[in-house]
């Protein structure tokens, strides 16, 4: 089974997904379609999609942004949980993968809530800031190029409203962050982000071992 939460035995993961997640039929179909791609492991797991949808409902999120959309699983999970007037802005560099996402958004009837901006996430977030979106975002999910994570953090903090939530994916990086012999650029960048947030007094912090590790940082 792909995208299992780190270290969870396969049979426990299967059990969790059977009784702990009510996956929308379209999300199931998107997972099946994405499985055919060599990059399918980039997709978040169903328990993480359900968790993000739960956060959206608990927080009453109306304005969600996402860096790293791929075939659309996280954005569709959130879109299905948003209120009628909820709005999403997605950033991704891939037209090919997000074309799949757009097809599912349409089929789910949520396409009118979602704006996709193709291009690098840093420029995308800078664009939002230039449009005056600072302090307006309820929930930001960062799941793109790991080398830019620290740079994303500064922009995301500016964009969030007080009480808004940033979520960073892959913060445990398959466990590599805890292996001092791993000095790969992406690993180092995720370590930098983790240390940065650990001592960032602008946010409340909870890193949770769902998927490949998810850091929740709530702007104070
Ligand atoms: C891990 S996948 C996202 C998975 C997605 N959140 C999901 O639930 O299926 C990472 C995505 O980031 C995109 N990406 C890579 N570099 C990027 C960049 N510099 N700016 C924006 N997106 C980027 C890739 O095209 C890819 O679709």
Q: For a substitution probing ligand 1, which of 141, 144, 213 has the most ligand atoms within 8 Å of its CB?
A: 144
Q: Whose CA is nearest to atom 14 of ligand 1?
A: 144
Q: Which of 103-114 are b and which e, b meaning 16 or more Cβ less than 10 Å from the residue's Cβ?
A: ebbeebebbebb
What is d(CA 123, CA 96) in angstroms, rounded to the nearest whole number? Answer: 20
Chain-centre distance for alpha carbon 22 = 19
- Are the beta carbons of 143 and 68 closer than 8 angstroms? yes
pLDDT means over runs of 10, the chain (220 residues): 76 96 98 98 97 98 98 98 98 98 98 98 98 98 97 98 98 97 97 98 97 98
Ligand 1 atom with the shortest distance to the CA of 42: 1
Ligand 1 atom with the shortest distance to the CA of 77: 8
- Are the beta carbons of 49 and 43 closer than 8 angstroms? no
Taking the model in full, what pTM does it have? 0.97
Q: Which two tokens stand for residue 113?
A: 């809530």
What is d(CA 25, CA 198) in angstroms, rounded to the nearest whole number? Answer: 38
Chain-centre distance for alpha carbon 183 = 24
pLDDT of residue 96: 98
pLDDT of residue 205: 98
Element spanning 97, H or E: helix 95-108
CA of 42 to the centre of ligand 1 (A): 8
Tell me which DSSP letter residue 171 carries. Answer: T
């Amino acid at each position: 089974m792909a995208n299992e939460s780190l270290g969870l035995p396969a049979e426990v993961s299967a059990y969790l997904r059977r009784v702990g997640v009510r996956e929308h039929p379209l999300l199931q179909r998107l997972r099946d379609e994405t499985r055919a791609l060599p990059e399918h492991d980039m997709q978040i797991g169903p328990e993480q999609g359900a968790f993000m949808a739960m956060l959206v409902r608990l927080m009453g999120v109306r304005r969600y942004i996402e860096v790293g959309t791929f075939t659309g699983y996280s954005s569709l999970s959130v879109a299905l949980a948003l209120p009628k007037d909820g709005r999403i802005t997605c950033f991704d560099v891939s037209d090919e993968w997000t074309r799949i996402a757009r097809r599912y958004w349409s089929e789910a009837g949520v396409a009118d809530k979602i704006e996709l901006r193709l291009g690098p996430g840093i420029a995308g977030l800078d664009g939002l800031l230039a449009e005056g979106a600072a302090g307006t975002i309820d929930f930001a999910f960062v799941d793109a190029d790991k080398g830019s994570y620290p740079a994303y953090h500064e922009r995301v903090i500016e964009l969030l409203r007080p009480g808004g939530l940033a979520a960073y994916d892959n913060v445990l990086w398959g466990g590599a962050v805890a292996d001092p012999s791993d000095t790969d650029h992406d690993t180092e960048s995720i370590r930098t982000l983790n240390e940065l947030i650990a001592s960032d007094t602008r946010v409340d912090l909870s890193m949770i071992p769902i998927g490949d590790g998810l850091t929740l940082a709530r702007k104070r």
